[in-house]
Chains A and B, each alone.
Chain A
Amino acid sequence: QQPVQSPQAVILREGEDAVINCSSSKALYSVHWYRQKHGEAPVFLMILLKGGEQKGHEKISASFNEKKQQSSLYLTASQLSYSGTYFCGTEIGERDGGSQGNLIFGKGTKLSVKP
């Protein structure tokens, strides 16, 4: 059930763009994206709900394709502060229409932005 994130790691120069993908084998209710810096707790970036919506947060945006059970995180014009490990957390839908109420996280994508 654990979503698969790709790539595992990426190195960028300041100003470059990156895409991080998150794929699940289960039907999803929502996808949550977090960034975690070394030695700190994960920080919420955005949530995407069923409906294929796309959300943005400054220069970070994301999309959710519920048919493919995939989400992508887009980082444009990267800044040094974007460095960290990005996790997608997926909320699995249940047959009765409910949800499990918890997130299943991928293994993370380590992003390093160099000057």
Chain B
Amino acid sequence: DAGVTQSPTHLIKTRGQHVTLRCSPISGHKSVSWYQQVLGQGPQFIFQYYEKEERGRGNFPDRFSARQFPNYSSELNVNALLLGDSALYLCASSLRSGLRFSGNTIYFGEGSWLTVV
């Protein structure tokens, strides 16, 4: 079975531009989360979607938005890019929304490396 797939794997954007990152969860998983990982830090939560509804939002500006489609894939959009947005963007999928259920692990994709110049 395919794992979490993300595209593109690497991209370079200019300050002020817009970027769209895409994610397909593991087959059967209905929850998709997005995390930002800056070099040398742990992943930081951006959004969680479950059954196409936003279930959680981290401390990120409104320039960040996301959505989940009927097939459970997801997009992360970032507008008006800043140099500080340069990071690895990780998509994670899980069966359900609540993580405390036994076996409801989140699995990360390989990530999208975004460089803003």
Contact = CB atoms under 8 A, between A and B. Distances in A.
Interface in B10-63: 31, 33, 40-45, 48, 50, 55-56, 58
Interface string A29-68: 1101010000011111001011000000000000000000
A43 B98 CA distance: 20
Nearest to B101: A49
Interface stretch (B66-74, B76-84, B102-110): B102-110
Nearest to B31: A101
Contacts of B42: 2, 87, 89, 105-108
| Consensus secondary structure, chain B interface | loop
Contact of A91 (B99, B107, B108, B110): B99
A103 B58 CA distance: 10
A115 interface: no
Contacts of A81: none
B100 A32 contact: no
Contact of B106 (A29, A44, A93, A104): A44
Interface residues of B, number: 28
Contacts of B33: 102
Contacts of B111: 41
A57 B25 CA distance: 25
A96 B107 CA distance: 27
B90 interface: yes
Given A49-B102, A102-B45, 10 more contacts: A2-B42, A32-B106, A91-B100, A99-B99, A101-B48, A102-B33, A102-B99, A105-B43, A107-B40, A108-B42
Interface of A: 2, 29-30, 32, 34, 40-44, 47, 49-50, 87, 89, 91, 93, 98-108
